[in-house]
Structure 1
């Protein structure tokens, strides 16, 4: 208690000094608490499901570039999921699958786009959920011919239907299907991909058949797979059992089929992937955020450490000026242990107040960073201040208080009461702080600041290199929007429809596309209008295997699947793609005309390097198209998803010859995109006011969204590095200023005896420059160790890029020397008479 009372007296006696300490610590602790709350929420806190540690996501390890695969390699084919479920491996308690998308909800006088997730019967049981109203999905809902049903999310029930329970049993029109509402989910239920409506996902047993039908038709549905492990099951055992089931499934595919055509096993081989993986759901959700969060958490820790070094210097300076006071207390009988307790209490009390203020500031910090990271954080993760975060803040405050208070405590052991009392009669400044300690602090601050600055510089240069990548298409002047259609045809539906019904659906899609194109072409500011099934930078394009005329595949290494897009004759002009060889599509490439195709340069490199492919033929993904399509042109490569991945082989087919029910408008504009976007929506509403229309977006904004995680990491780390450099400069300024003040008498005597002011300046700067140099060398060593942590995030720059390291050293060295120049200049301009008189 005596130590606490002494700390309170010192707090009142030096309010401004302690206010500075409190504010500095509050900022550092707030930053650390903010980042820890994200580390806890994303990496450490259990998911909001019963026994969430048993939940795993199932996938096949990607072979090669994961960006080529649906969902970045996190999805599996329906055949494999059925094989896993039917095998009932003993390490698993349950299996479920889901697939997210969107649909048009048609109400009496309006229509709205809604997010939809289709799930298998065991999905909600696997997650341990019970309905808030009605019931959830059950196996009978997935039987072919069953009445289509839907479960509403609680938020959608409240916002769209006002919480009216009469919605249970009502029929909603979703796309061209009538669905009956049977249940409402709890308000607390959240999932990886939030949905407004939950519908049954029917995975047809026919999809698991290994026999070849002789029709040379492959229909594959990609699913996201979940499972719940047995309580005592290991991931290794679970993965081994999945792999055994996969091996049995793949071995059942026959080698039959049309003469000369590859077997089903060969055609699906590229989708087989590597070994099966069972990944803890929480680990999967963390994804790339894991390394990002730990990196940022370490960065704010270094910033706080620099702040503590500065505060240690301030406390050491105060202890030096209080040397006489401490000597008097020793002479009066105070023990050194008691003095140490008092000094630690004096530093811990402001640290606790700084921790309390920091906890308050972190509340806004969490909201701010959460806004920046909104696109990378799944909604089901709960980020906030709880008991664990508050405990972390308390421990951090106590730790920092003790940490920067150890320096003056360490000096007590060397306190000589008699000499301190004797020297105090001659000078009021107390014994000087050892130069070794000052130089060590300077070197430490410079080293830590250099590590942060160098890593931020590498990320900045990497970001600029990635931003300069040639995408192969324009982004700044191209608007894109998803157009509503009357029919959304899913693969599992298409494979069970008669050919004449498919023809009718495709005919309606072509007609609607043509009418949309007429409307959009008339909008003022639209120079080129095009409609395709997908736009550049879409997450995923249709994948298919194809017979390519004249190409003999390596049987030991089957080629990767192709991706395809349905486009029209104006597509290349709309998005600014280059035609390298041959011709573009024309209006003559329509229904009934000989099938044609365009391929990109990556296709040429992969299949016919150094040769012309114009005139060669390949099979279309349209199973109703019996005739091979002739390649009529080669277009430039585009980077369609991951900007740091290599362009992949891609094929373009005329929309009229490969109709799709998904319609995406691509509009080349001249003028203000926002104004033109408003005109587009106005024209579409005049065309059909009953359909829902998304707001058109510029492709540039889509590109910026893909760069969001890198931009966030670069921005935050750059901000931390800037703060670290400022703190290091202030620390050097304070340390050197105090050192010059302590040595005022020495400098006065030397100048009175004829010392050259220039020599005084050189000596002060020289000793400081040596410490800065040592700090830079130590900082380089620390940088070499830490850049390994961000090597996976770098593009177009090495982790030890000499330009970045040299620039960081020069900037930090210059800032540090400038900070030391002020006190050194003051020492050189001392008036020896004033200095000696003051003494």
Structure 2
């Protein structure tokens, strides 16, 4: 129906669009259009053209849109259904094809499961250390408050905070922090009846339990009254100590235990879900601010909770400003000291995972994943060769390039997906085993959740493996199916002898050499640090007995140590179970100030004390016969003797490297007769150098073999006040037992008879201590050895697949050569000559890559570089041996080819 002559007409384009979108027979298209025209004319007469045009457009959209959407839905459903049907058919075809190649499935899925599992496992560890939520309420508001110095000696550790600063901070930041609490962790001697053991004891402010949501299973937590001056000594047991020492006795609350000679009443037991800041066996109240406390006595861990809505930046600025002003007013402090507020998550992560080592671990896992993916790509190239005829037929029948590509890449996707799922399962199992195996070593806050971050890492590893494994096979498949009539023989030859397979194999070898070189370096490091004879002192068969002279776990009080030393010397010398012994005590001679700060050591004739970078910081006070028993040679002069007692001229021995540091213009042997002065607070004593000893290596885990300069003062002549800067403080009795070593209980009984006021803190074999110190190198060596063996196996499989494919693809050519008289050597050169050249080039490139890796990971927790020429030569020989073994079976098959049978088959 058309509009009346002379009547206004609607916009022509909208009218045509509406006519096309309304199908014939839909409620009478002509009637609908006619009605719209009449209404348009009436509206045009009443309100004008613009209003009529807008109304007509709105009516057109309202009528045409539902039909357009319905038509689009029908079309889309058809295409989606068709695509899904095609994908399902290709997937079924892929699964049937893989079922006929079990070796490809086992090797591909197995290698990718290991590679993906390693990446996912590394992601689980890093996620637990850096990103997983902490087990405390509102943990994102928990802040670590600690002292800081721009050139502080303790660069890689936290210097802590003093009790005096903590007391100031509790009232200085109203509106910035809701509350500020503190703790101090140390070892203590626990006596239960006749049994003695060393335990971790944490002194905490009572409010810290509430801040960390600690809960009692029995009794109660510490209360504010427990920390008041004169309060009765109390303790709260950890759940683990309650199980170990008290057999989960429900009546333990109210009992008394002896902790470092102080009776304490047990008032509670933590439940199993409570998570203190660090591993601890007992919680005791932190004593009130001691008299004469100094800002420089930093031994507290201070923790605060931000007030609601306060950003960390504002809190850090407030803490820095207050601490800078407070410390600048203290003349006893070196200039430059301040404080900082750091999120607790960041502090805990730094203590649990070194960033450089974390990057190295991820790099190692990615190398294994890439090698596994490249190995699978090599095998899939062989499968594309076998499927060349099928893909050519698909293309000839009209299959588009997308359909051919999908058919080729599904192999990689299916195998990578299966490997990723198995790898995630391996990670799950490994996580549970690690949580059980290393439960005693893990901090209580540590968790390793399998969360969205870990799942993202697993999906990413699968995607990367599928991409690497499927890219070249996909390219080859598209080239194979592009032309009509592609013949399997021609395409197979092109794949077998093309550069793509060689490139994949070479990449595997290069990555493998980097990892194997890293394994060799780790094993070399472990072998070096396992040689304890290089340390420069006697260690084998000896036993360390650490004795705490007085209550509280401190080094001693006043003159109480001198009689104890005399008693120990006399008693242990007559012990029937001891062949020889030596007494010593750590003497810290550094300063926790800046590098330019003064140390306690001043060489006679110099105007100023020695700087922190020059002083022998970790020194010892030693008893008579120490050097003879320890096997440390005296290079000049003498050692400490029985005559070096209190009242005699104070004497000391310096190591050869300490002599060079203290008297740089003198030969080490010529410093005998020189003197130096030690000053700690008000205490001051001058020692004469009576001997120069051979240097010793202080850190057994250090591969560098760098010695540690030391000063050895006579123990009986070293005033108690000079040990004020020493955080350890215990007397170390090192003995050579006669026959079997004595137990901790036996030593405790012996000490109770000799010196009842003292206690045995720990008893350990020196060799066990040294082995424990190199545990990290041992684990690194084992992990890298396993990874290197896996990588060697992977590219051995790749070499085997390459040679086998070449033999299968070139069977006709080899048959003709043999029929024409080629001998075995010529056949081997024909098949493996190019491979030998490839291996040689890849080894050279891999050696260069291994050398360059040291530039990136030097000093990291996991060595990847620093390979010596001999190391690289050994790696090259190992790779060549693996290649030769892998080439053996296919080469033997090539030599056994029957020319007549092969040609008849053609």
TM-score greater than 0.5 by the shorter chain:
yes
Separation in structure 1 between the aligned mates of residue 775 and residue 565 of structure 2, nearest angstrom: 36
Q: Which residue is 1:174 aligned to? A: 259
Pairwise mapping of residues 697-716 of structure 1 onto structure 2 (< 5 A)? 697-716=764-783
Stretch of structure 1 that moved more, 740-749 or 814-823: 814-823
How far the C-alpha of 1:572 sits from its partner, in A, is 2.0
How far the C-alpha of 1:103 sits from its partner, in A, is 2.1
- Determine helix, strand or coil for the equivalent of 2:645: coil
- Determine helix, strand or coil for the equivalent of 1:304: helix
Please say if 1:142 is aligned against 2:227.
yes
Change (3 A) 1:568 1:582: same
1:533 pairs, out of 585, 605, 609, with: 585
How far the C-alpha of 1:655 sits from its partner, in A, is 4.1
Stretch of structure 1 that moved more, 643-652 or 306-315: 643-652
Change (3 A) 1:61 1:749: farther
How far the C-alpha of 1:184 sits from its partner, in A, is 3.4
Please say if 1:151 is aligned against 2:206.
no
The Cα offsets for residues 557-589 of structure 1, whole Å up to 9 and x where unpaired, read as 896584443321132233222223333223333
Q: Which residue is 1:498 aligned to? A: none
Q: Which residue is 2:36 aligned to? A: none
Separation in structure 2 between the aligned mates of residue 323 and residue 484 of structure 1, nearest angstrom: 80
1:46 pairs, out of 103, 113, 133, with: 133
Q: Is the 8 A contact 2:225 2:231 kept in 1?
A: yes
Q: Is the 8 A contact 1:760 1:828 kept in 2?
A: yes
Change (3 A) 1:164 1:202: same
| Count of matched residue pairs | 791
- Determine helix, strand or coil for the equivalent of 1:676: coil
Separation in structure 2 between the aligned mates of residue 42 and residue 74 of structure 1, nearest angstrom: 22
Change (3 A) 1:613 1:89: farther
How far the C-alpha of 1:822 sits from its partner, in A, is 5.8
Q: Which residue is 2:715 aligned to? A: 654
1:251 pairs, out of 325, 328, 332, with: 328
Q: Which residue is 1:608 aligned to? A: 663
How far the C-alpha of 1:477 sits from its partner, in A, is 3.2
Stretch of structure 1 that moved more, 108-117 or 327-336: 327-336
Please say if 1:97 is aligned against 2:155.
no
How far the C-alpha of 1:695 sits from its partner, in A, is 7.3
1:663 pairs, out of 719, 727, 731, with: 731
Q: Is the 8 A contact 2:652 2:711 kept in 1?
A: no
Separation in structure 2 between the aligned mates of residue 703 and residue 331 of structure 1, nearest angstrom: 72
Separation in structure 2 between the aligned mates of residue 372 and residue 294 of structure 1, nearest angstrom: 24
Q: Is the 8 A contact 2:851 2:865 kept in 1?
A: no
How far the C-alpha of 1:463 sits from its partner, in A, is 4.3
Q: Is the 8 A contact 2:616 2:709 kept in 1?
A: no
Please say if 1:127 is aligned against 2:222.
no
- Normalising by structure 2, we get a TM-score of 0.75
2:576 pairs, out of 522, 528, 540, with: 522
How far the C-alpha of 1:302 sits from its partner, in A, is 1.5
Change (3 A) 1:370 1:702: farther
Q: Which residue is 2:654 aligned to? A: 599
Please say if 1:6 is aligned against 2:6.
no
- Determine helix, strand or coil for the equivalent of 2:278: coil
The Cα offsets for residues 490-547 of structure 1, whole Å up to 9 and x where unpaired, read as 37x95xxxxxxx34x436633653465246x421xx43112333599xxx9xx97245
Separation in structure 1 between the aligned mates of residue 863 and residue 680 of structure 2, nearest angstrom: 39
How far the C-alpha of 1:447 sits from its partner, in A, is 1.4
1:766 pairs, out of 816, 833, 841, with: 833
- Determine helix, strand or coil for the equivalent of 1:533: strand
Please say if 1:459 is aligned against 2:489.
no
Change (3 A) 1:616 1:787: closer
Stretch of structure 1 that moved more, 56-65 or 729-738: 56-65
Q: Which residue is 1:213 aligned to? A: none
Please say if 1:586 is aligned against 2:673.
no
Pairwise mapping of residues 683-698 of structure 1 onto structure 2 (< 5 A)? 685=749, 688=752, 696-698=763-765
Q: Is the 8 A contact 1:485 1:662 kept in 2?
A: yes
1:506 pairs, out of 556, 561, 575, with: 561
Change (3 A) 1:249 1:556: farther
Separation in structure 2 between the aligned mates of residue 91 and residue 752 of structure 1, nearest angstrom: 91
Stretch of structure 1 that moved more, 471-480 or 428-437: 428-437
1:479 pairs, out of 543, 554, 557, with: 543
Separation in structure 2 between the aligned mates of residue 656 and residue 619 of structure 1, nearest angstrom: 13
- Determine helix, strand or coil for the equivalent of 2:479: coil
1:414 pairs, out of 472, 479, 501, with: 479
Separation in structure 2 between the aligned mates of residue 798 and residue 415 of structure 1, nearest angstrom: 42
Change (3 A) 1:764 1:390: same
1:382 pairs, out of 426, 429, 447, with: 447
- Determine helix, strand or coil for the equivalent of 1:580: strand
Separation in structure 2 between the aligned mates of residue 516 and residue 466 of structure 1, nearest angstrom: 36
Separation in structure 2 between the aligned mates of residue 487 and residue 668 of structure 1, nearest angstrom: 28
- Normalising by structure 1, we get a TM-score of 0.81
Separation in structure 1 between the aligned mates of residue 837 and residue 863 of structure 2, nearest angstrom: 34
2:376 pairs, out of 288, 291, 311, with: 311
How far the C-alpha of 1:829 sits from its partner, in A, is 6.7
How far the C-alpha of 1:321 sits from its partner, in A, is 1.6
Q: Is the 8 A contact 1:344 1:405 kept in 2?
A: yes
How far the C-alpha of 1:195 sits from its partner, in A, is 1.0
- Determine helix, strand or coil for the equivalent of 1:762: helix
How far the C-alpha of 1:746 sits from its partner, in A, is 2.0
Separation in structure 2 between the aligned mates of residue 274 and residue 486 of structure 1, nearest angstrom: 33
Rg larger in structure: 2
Pairwise mapping of residues 233-272 of structure 1 onto structure 2 (< 5 A)? 241-254=318-331, 264-265=332-333, 269=334
Change (3 A) 1:122 1:574: farther
How far the C-alpha of 1:791 sits from its partner, in A, is 0.3
Stretch of structure 1 that moved more, 73-82 or 443-452: 73-82
Q: Is the 8 A contact 1:598 1:632 kept in 2?
A: yes
- Determine helix, strand or coil for the equivalent of 1:100: strand
Separation in structure 2 between the aligned mates of residue 456 and residue 531 of structure 1, nearest angstrom: 41
Q: Is the 8 A contact 1:589 1:657 kept in 2?
A: no
Separation in structure 2 between the aligned mates of residue 718 and residue 273 of structure 1, nearest angstrom: 47
Q: Is the 8 A contact 1:171 1:178 kept in 2?
A: yes
Q: Is the 8 A contact 1:765 1:821 kept in 2?
A: no
Please say if 1:735 is aligned against 2:802.
yes
- Determine helix, strand or coil for the equivalent of 1:588: coil
Q: Is the 8 A contact 2:554 2:730 kept in 1?
A: no
Gapped runs of 5+ residues in structure 1?
Answer: 211-218, 255-263, 495-501
Pairwise mapping of residues 737-752 of structure 1 onto structure 2 (< 5 A)? 737-752=804-819
Q: Is the 8 A contact 2:391 2:481 kept in 1?
A: no
The Cα offsets for residues 788-835 of structure 1, whole Å up to 9 and x where unpaired, read as 342014899984644434543454355436644664575467554343
Separation in structure 2 between the aligned mates of residue 197 and residue 366 of structure 1, nearest angstrom: 28
1:636 pairs, out of 668, 678, 694, with: 694
How far the C-alpha of 1:197 sits from its partner, in A, is 0.7
- Determine helix, strand or coil for the equivalent of 2:423: helix
Pairwise mapping of residues 273-288 of structure 1 onto structure 2 (< 5 A)? 276=339, 278-287=341-350
- Determine helix, strand or coil for the equivalent of 2:274: coil
Q: Is the 8 A contact 2:236 2:268 kept in 1?
A: yes
How far the C-alpha of 1:743 sits from its partner, in A, is 1.0
Separation in structure 1 between the aligned mates of residue 838 and residue 306 of structure 2, nearest angstrom: 57
Change (3 A) 1:221 1:14: closer
The Cα offsets for residues 339-375 of structure 1, whole Å up to 9 and x where unpaired, read as 5444444444444444443334334534666688778
Separation in structure 2 between the aligned mates of residue 516 and residue 233 of structure 1, nearest angstrom: 61
Separation in structure 1 between the aligned mates of residue 848 and residue 216 of structure 2, nearest angstrom: 57
Separation in structure 2 between the aligned mates of residue 30 and residue 795 of structure 1, nearest angstrom: 19
Change (3 A) 1:117 1:427: same
Change (3 A) 1:761 1:157: closer
Separation in structure 2 between the aligned mates of residue 699 and residue 202 of structure 1, nearest angstrom: 35
Q: Which residue is 2:502 aligned to? A: 439
Separation in structure 2 between the aligned mates of residue 106 and residue 696 of structure 1, nearest angstrom: 15
Q: Which residue is 2:5 aligned to? A: none
The Cα offsets for residues 187-232 of structure 1, whole Å up to 9 and x where unpaired, read as 222345311111222363544568xxxxxxxx94533444445676
Please say if 1:450 is aligned against 2:546.
no
Change (3 A) 1:345 1:507: same
How far the C-alpha of 1:666 sits from its partner, in A, is 0.5
How far the C-alpha of 1:742 sits from its partner, in A, is 0.1
What is the root-mean-square deviation of aligned Cα atoms in Å?
Answer: 4.3
Stretch of structure 1 that moved more, 595-604 or 678-687: 678-687
The Cα offsets for residues 641-691 of structure 1, whole Å up to 9 and x where unpaired, read as 473565244343324754697332212357xxxx62147865764675999
